[in-house]
Structures are given as C-alpha cells and as structure tokens.
Amino acid sequence: AGSQQDLVKIQNIDPAIYIDMRYAGIHNFTGRQVYTANVCVLRRGTAEKLARANAEFAKRGFRLKIWDAYRPLSVQKIFWKLVPDRRYVANPQGNASRHNRGTAVDVTLVDEQGRELIMPSEFDDFSYRAQRDYPGISPFAQSNAAYLAEVMEQAGFRSLGSEWWHFDDADWTMYPVEDIPLENFL
Ligand SMILES: C[C@@H](N)C(=O)N[C@H](C)C(=O)O
Ligand SMILES: [Zn+2]
C-alpha cells in the first residue's frame, strides 16, 4: 500500500457514480477553486467498497454523488487555516484527514433523474445542522441520511457524527497521507 498506483480514478471502477468535485470549482466553503485538477481519486480498496454501496443503492433507484475524495495534504493545510475546528476540518498535523490518504469520501444520494435527495444540510455546512441526529432536522432528511449511512457502513465505511456526508474507509490506517498533486491523475 502507499504508492501512487494504489490510487485510482473512481470513474474507472464504477462509471455509474455521479461526480461533482466541489473543490475543483468555486461552489465550496472557500469560495475559490482549490483543486488543481477536476479528478476524483480513491484507494482501489475504498473505490471498490464505494462501488458495492452504489450497487446496493441502485436496487432502490438511487445513486451516489461524490463531492470529495482524495485531497492532497497541502489543500488540507489551506482548509485548516480557514476553519481550525476539528469537528469540521481535520488537523493537517498528526493523522491529518482520511481524505489525505485517499480513504474518505463526501457523498450524497441522487434519484433516477439525478436530483439530490433531501438531507439534513448543504455540503460543508459547518454547523449543528450537519449532524444527522440533530433534533431540529426534519424526519425525512434524517431518514435519508440514516439510509445513506446504513448502506455505506454495510459496504465497509464508518460515518462521522458531525458531518452526515463524510465516510471513512474502515481500513484507512493501511494507507499513508499523501501530497500527490491531482493533475498527476489526469
Ligand atoms: C472539509 C470537510 N469537507 C471535511 O472533509 N472534513 C473532514 C473532517 C476532514 O477534513 O477530514
Ligand atoms: Zn469529508
């Protein structure tokens, strides 16, 4: 584990998964493009787990939509400067983010028309609304987030209490933190 070869483009593992890399555009909490290439990369094992989850969602007419996957460590440092709050951004020192290892994904669900399901909050809403169990959240949004987490956990991911959209591969410790530029994967 740990070489660039272990990192794969998700579209080569499961082309049915929707991709909208938010940090490759300006529609994200920084308000600017922080990724140097619009490419969605994960460890092969993580990508295979995600494909399994997507196949399960497809049985009920849904698909995964990815907002973020592998994130270079240098980008994590930019995020931490803006939001130094461990609930919402992992500290780039020490273990850093599971995203920096290519073993975390930020996802939601879309229906057959590609419309996003109602969820507890917008992506990267760094407030109590991002918690899937916050009492003020509508039962409908809560049940969609619970369904997302149930299938992702069955496929081998762990959910995060403070961000309903974030999932870590349970095997994340097998892989090191990377700072490989995204354009290397184009
Ligand atoms: C920045 C946000 N999308 C995110 O990924 N947060 C988690 C906690 C992380 O940085 O690993
Ligand atoms: Zn995340």
What is the pTM (predicted TM-score) of this model?
0.96
State if residue 49 touches ligand 1 by the CB under 6 angstroms criterion.
Answer: no
- ipTM given for this complex: 0.99
pLDDT in tens, 10-20: 999 999 999 99
Query: Ligand 1, atom 11: nearest CA belongs to which residue?
Result: 97
State if residue 89 touches ligand 1 by the CB under 6 angstroms criterion.
Answer: yes
**Among candidate residues 66, 72, 75, the one with its CA nearest the CA of residue 40:** 66
Query: Average per-residue pLDDT in the chain?
Result: 95
CA 64 to each of CA 74, 75, 83, 98, 109: distance values in angstroms, whole numbers, following the listed order: 27, 24, 27, 19, 5
pLDDT in tens, 61-108: 999 999 999 999 999 999 999 999 998 999 999 999 999 999 999 999
**Among candidate residues 83, 91, 174, the one with its CA nearest the CA of residue 130:** 83
Q: Which ligand 1 atom sits closest to the C-alpha of 86? A: 8
